[in-house]
Amino acid sequence: HRGSHFAVSAIGERDAQATLAFPKNLFTALHARMFAKAFEAALVFNGAKDAKLDVEGIDATVVRYRASW
């Protein structure tokens, strides 16, 4: 969506942190969880073993994610 930005802020050997920034109140907690499953599927598709991606937090303009594999 225009005005949204996804960025990976930290990458470890078996984990990563990312944020999705967006216009105020554009996405809900349900959207954040649905996106998490899509991002998790992308990790699996690219060969990550035991991939897991969780929503760490959400507010009116940002979602924070943590991935592990």
pLDDT tens-place string over residues 14-61: 999 999 999 999 999 999 999 999 999 999 999 999 999 999 999 999
Q: CB atoms < 10 A from the CB of 65, how many? A: 23
Instruction: State the pLDDT at residue 48.
Output: 95
Please enumerate in sequence order all residues whose Cβ is within 8 A of that of 34, keeping only pairs 6 or more positions apart, or say none: none
Instruction: State the pLDDT at residue 1.
Output: 82
Instruction: State the pLDDT at residue 57.
Output: 98
